[in-house]
Homo-oligomer: A and B are copies of this chain.
Amino acid sequence: MPLLLGAAGGVDFARFFTVLAVMLVAAKLAGEALERLGQPAVMGELIAGILLGAGFLKVIPVGPEDPLTPVFRLLAEVGVVVLLFEIGLETDLRAMLRVGAAATAVAVVGVTVPFVLGFLYWWSGVHGYEHTVSSPLTTAIYVGAALTATSVGITGRVLKDLQVLHSLEARLILGAAVIDDVLGLVILSVVSGLAAGTAFSVHGVLRILGVAVAFLFVALWIGLRLAPRLFGLLDRMRVRGVLVVFAFAFLLLLCVLAERAGTALIIGAFAAGLILSETNQFDLIEGQIKPIADIFTPIFFMSIGAAVDPRVWNPFEPGGHQTLAIGGTLFAIAVIGKLASGWAVPWRHFNRLAVGVGMAPRGEVGLIFAQIGLTAGILSNRLFSAILLVVIATTLVTPPLLQGALRRGATLDADSVP
């Protein structure tokens, strides 16, 4: 009778099991419902997360005082990391490198246009909002910066669900999203510096940029040479589950290395997938990692939804209409700015709209920006809520829009174009 006590050692097993079971069932039922409505399943998971989250049913723990909050945050992180690993496994590295220059153009335009538009919108003062928390210049930079991120999780999941990961557009989006992550790190370090009151330094910015790029190259260069041999040794082992356990551990370690190198965990996860796609056991790994992704990935998408409290946008609350007006304008800027990135590439005959839409979701990345801004005292509660609206709206709007864009303009076979 192991751990027959429901709460042995202060850990509430029964509640953890209940929340996990309810989340997983809700995720699948909502995903199924949305898919039957012709929408991507991930949208159902996001909506189920909102319903079970802080705003409504309060099933999913999000509060800092709840002992289960860090547990679900860690499981959600495993979820996004396994998702990126799966996407990496299914990505053809050589084909992606061929679109490298184009992806860089998409990322740079997709970061620059929303930043400039967002900055100008706030700096010009047309919003008519008296923001007294910090200086207008700092606030304008922060508003612009908060619009630059791209959450590859949402887009990657939609591309995967629609089975178009091998299209040219998918490679462009994924490549650009990885580069966007690198740029996002640079921007975040700058705005965090602003928040902390430290001076801007070109040297510091270049260092972060260099480390992130160097990590990706070194990891891929060493990994592609070492991993196939290392995983070849596993064929000689006899204990059960060796392959999936070592693949999973390899994924975790590359995430940690990425983080230690000063870049994002999920860049490590994507690199791990790219590397292991070159091993002999590639298809076995893919098959065995799938049930693990099935369990963990919904936790990630539901956690994004769970953090949302839609009541802050209630137009009947005092000032609520202003939050909605600012949020709506920023949302338009956010979408238009990323759509522009689809036109950053000079090629003809490819689905520009799909690429632009695919770069649009801010997801959990935008949440981090908004949270830091609020904590640092750069954003007022109202401006924070407006940016939150942008994050949620771009995230919720992307799955159906991307699916629509991909269906209208047929995706091209990746090997046919550039």
Answer whether residue A8 sits at the interface, using C-beta atoms and an 8 A cutoff. Answer: yes
Cα distance, A263 to B20, chains bound together (Å): 20
Known: A3-B265, A295-B244. A74 touches B77 (CB 8 A): no
Query: How many copies of this protein are present in the complex?
Result: 2
Given A242-B32, A290-B241, do A25 and B364 touch, yes or no (CB 8 Å)? no
Main secondary structure of the interface of A (DSSP, over half): helix
For residue A363, which residues in chain B have a CB less than 8 angstroms away from its CB?
2
A246 to B181, CA, bound (A): 34
In the complex, how many angstroms separate the beta carbon of A112 from the nearest chain B beta carbon?
A: 17
Among A13, A27, A185, A293: residue with most chain B CB under 10 A: A13
> Is B245 in contact with A149, judged by CB distance below 8 angstroms?
no
Contact of A1 among B9, B28, B256, B266 (CB under 8 A): B266
Contacting residues, chain B, for A188 (C-beta < 8 A)? 1, 4
CA distance A20 to B252 in the complex (A): 8
Q: Is A24 an interface residue (CB 8 A)?
A: yes
CB closest residue in chain B, given A268: B17
> Is A253 among interface residues, defined by CB-CB distance under 8 A?
yes
CB <8 Å contact, B185 and A4:
yes
| Chain B: CB-nearest residue to A67 | B70
Asked whether A364 lies within 8 Å of B246 as measured between CB atoms, the reply is no
**Best-buried of A6, A153, A260 by chain B (most CB within 10 Å):** A6
Complex: chain B residue closest to A183, CB-CB: B1
15 pairs of residues in contact across A and B, judged by CB atoms under 8 Å: A1-B266, A2-B152, A2-B265, A2-B365, A4-B365, A9-B70, A10-B64, A14-B260, A16-B74, A24-B249, A32-B238, A32-B239, A32-B242, A41-B239, A244-B294
